[in-house]
Every structure is written in C-alpha cells, then in structure tokens.
C-alpha cells in the first residue's frame, strides 16, 4: 500500500503537481535537519503570528498613555515594563512586529523582482546593455546602504512609506548582481539556443526560463538580507526618519528610551532585544535555505 510519503518521494512522478510537491517535501526534510534553520523558522513564524494576532496577544493598547504608571519596571502586569508615557512596552513590541513585517515584505516585493529583472536582462544581452545596467548598479553599490537610504529619505521626507521606498532603492543592486552572475552561467546553454531556434522571443526566454533559474539564489539572498533591512529600518526610525510617533516602531522606541538607559534600562533594551532576535531568525533561516537550495551543499546534507 502506497503511503503519502512514498508518493511524494517517488522517483518517477506521474504529474507536475506530484513532482512539485515531492521537491518541496524533500526541501522541508533537508531544512528540518538543520537545527539553526528550524530555530529561524520558529522565530519567523512567531513574528508572523504576533503581527496577525496582535490585538488578541497584546494585553494593553500600544498607544494609550497613563502617566501615573510611567517608567514601571517589568512585572506580572507589564511584562516588559512601561515607557515614559506609561505605555505598555510589551504591547508596543507586539504591534511593532506588524510594522517590521510590513517593511521587510514590501522591500522584498519591490527590490527583489526589480534586481532580478535588471540582472537577468543585463546578463542575457551582454554588450552595451550589460555595461550600462551594471554601471548604474555599481554606482549604488559603491555607497553604504544606510547613508544612501538617509539621503533618499531626506529628499522624500520622513515617514514609513518613504523609508520603505528608500530601503528598496538601496537594496536592489545586490540582487541584480546575483541574477547577472547566474544568467551568465547558462545564457549560452543548449536549451537557450534551442528556444531561439524555435522562434521564442527574448522576453519569453527571459521570463519563462532565465528568471525561474535565478529564483533559488534570489530567495536565499532575500532571506539573508532581511536582517540588514530590519536594521536599516530601525536606524531610520532611531534617527526620526522612519515611522513617526506614536507608531510603535522598534527603532523609534530605542531612540526614545536612550534617555533612560542608565536607570530605566528596559525602555530601550526590550525593543532592541526584539530586533536582535528577529534578525538572528532571518539569518539562521537564510543559512539553512542556502544549504537546501544550493545543489552542491544540498548533496552533502
């Protein structure tokens, strides 16, 4: 009697659905063998859970002020203490997960496809197209990401929307470089030549064959970059250029808590701890995905 596991691991799948599900099942099994990747996945799932169910998890309002309870230390009533306005820090950290998740998701949705397309077009056509596109890419890569993001936010104005745009603008060059390098390895392959002989257009070859082959490396790089995106967003918030008060953004919370760091350490420490944990979670998960999606590494697992 054939079990579901046997069906998923069948070396001769009878349908595309079975092949796709089997490939996904093998990837999950390999990922589960990496303890750090599992920890990273748990942290990421916890972040998503906190963001989705924040109104039910947070015991207090993230914006409600109560000056009679200002700067209270961590206790059973306020697990992470209160800030200078008497707001519950735990509730603000929970709601801050929404902002953090929104920032990393929107940056990934904007920057990764843009960089993937630019890199694939550059590597596929070569010549002057490659020189122009990679020249622009090198200009962006030559400047520190945070400094460049600060320049864009200063030009666009403070605010979470402008911060997301600025971070996305500074993030796409790395993805373009990876996509170009991947494309150069197979742009002269036989299957590409066969598609040209069959009359396929350049657009069809790039979208139907080149971009899917670059996706694995892009997923790994995006996951690993999430920690840097979180830190950049927190840096902008810390400087007052990201999410504006009273939004519970972690970087802005640290900025307001630095005035009390010596006596009321929890005001700045708790959101800082959240940033560290989430950043480590993305790094652990990205490292595990790299081992699974990289054929050379995956063969050793």
**CB contact at 8 A, 83 and 210:** no
What distance in Å separates the CA atoms of residue 16 and residue 5, rounded to the nearest whole number? Answer: 17
Q: At residue 88, what are phi and psi to the nearest 5 degrees?
A: -70, 120
Q: Which two tokens stand for residue 215?
A: 């996706």
Residue 18 is assigned to a structural domain of this protein: no
**CB contact at 8 A, 277 and 207:** no
Based on the structure, what is the number of domains in the chain? Answer: 1
pLDDT in tens, 213-224: 888 888 888 988
Residue 116 is assigned to a structural domain of this protein: yes
Picking from 12-16, 36-40, 118-122, 260-264, which range would have the lowest pLDDT averaged per residue? Answer: 12-16
63: pLDDT strictly greater than 50: yes
Q: Which of 215, 224, 201 is nearest to 288 (CA)?
A: 224
pLDDT in tens, 10-52: 777 777 787 778 788 888 888 888 899 999 999 999 999 999 9
Residue 6 is assigned to a structural domain of this protein: no
Query: How sure is the predictor about 301, in pLDDT bands with cuts at 50, 70 and 90?
Result: very low
Residue 102 is assigned to a structural domain of this protein: yes
- Residue of higher predicted confidence among 243 and 275: 275
- In DSSP terms, which residues pair with 82 in a beta bridge? 88
**CB contact at 8 A, 251 and 236:** yes
Instruction: Name the pTM for this structure.
Output: 0.86
Q: What integer pLDDT is reported at residue 299 of this predicted model?
A: 42
Q: In this structure, what CATH number is given to the domain that contains residue 249?
A: 1.10.3720.10
**CB contact at 8 A, 98 and 247:** no
Query: How sure is the predictor about 146, in pLDDT bands with cuts at 50, 70 and 90?
Result: confident
Residue 258 is assigned to a structural domain of this protein: yes
User: Which residue stretches of 126-159 are H helix?
Assistant: 127-141, 145-156
**CB contact at 8 A, 278 and 42:** no
Q: Whose structure tokens read 């590409």?
A: 192
Q: Which of 262, 274, 258, 232 is nearest to 91 (CA)?
A: 274
Residue 202 is assigned to a structural domain of this protein: yes
Residue 135 is assigned to a structural domain of this protein: yes
On the 0-12 / 13-18 / 19+ scale of CB atoms within 10 A, 148 is buried
Q: Which two tokens stand for residue 294?
A: 């990289």
101's enclosing H/E stretch is: helix 89-125
Residue 95 is assigned to a structural domain of this protein: yes
Structural domain harbouring 226: 33-57+90-298
Q: How many Å separate Cα 239 from the centre of its chain?
A: 21
Q: Provide the phi-psi class of 34: left if phi over 0, else alpha when psi is between -120 and 50, else beta.
A: beta
CA–CA–CA angle 19, 20, 21 (5° rounding): 95
Q: What integer pLDDT is reported at residue 246 of this predicted model?
A: 87
Q: Which two tokens stand for residue 285?
A: 């998960």
């Amino acid at each position: 009697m054939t079990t579901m596991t046997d069906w998923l691991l069948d070396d001769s799948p009878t349908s595309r659905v079975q092949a796709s599900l089997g490939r996904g099942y093998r990837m999950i099994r390999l990922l589960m063998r990496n303890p750090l990747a599992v920890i990273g996945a748990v942290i990421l799932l916890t972040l998503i859970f906190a963001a989705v169910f924040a109104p039910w998890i947070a015991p207090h309002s993230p914006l409600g002020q109560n000056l009679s309870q200002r700067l209270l230390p961590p206790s059973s009533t306020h697990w992470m203490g209160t800030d200078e306005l008497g707001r519950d820090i735990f509730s603000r950290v929970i709601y801050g997960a929404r902002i953090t998740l929104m920032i990393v998701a929107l940056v990934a949705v904007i920057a990764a496809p843009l960089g993937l397309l630019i890199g694939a077009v550059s590597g596929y056509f070569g010549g002057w197209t490659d020189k122009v596109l990679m020249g622009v890419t090198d200009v962006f890569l030559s400047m520190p990401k945070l400094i460049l993001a600060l320049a864009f936010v200063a030009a666009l104005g403070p605010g979470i929307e402008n911060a997301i745009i600025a971070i996305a603008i500074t993030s796409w060059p790395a993805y373009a470089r990876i996509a170009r390098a991947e494309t150069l390895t197979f742009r002269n392959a036989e299957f590409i030549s066969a598609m040209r002989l069959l009359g396929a257009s350049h657009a069809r070859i790039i979208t139907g064959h080149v971009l899917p082959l670059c996706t694995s490396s892009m997923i790994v790089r995006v996951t690993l970059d999430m920690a840097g995106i979180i830190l950049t967003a927190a840096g902008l918030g810390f400087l007052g250029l990201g999410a504006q008060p009273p939004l519970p953004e972690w970087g802005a919370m640290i900025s307001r808590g630095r005035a009390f760091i010596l006596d009321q350490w929890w005001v700045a420490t708790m959101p800082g701890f959240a940033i560290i944990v989430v950043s480590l979670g993305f790094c652990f998960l990205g490292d595990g995905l790299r081992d699974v999606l990289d054929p050379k590494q995956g063969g050793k697992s």
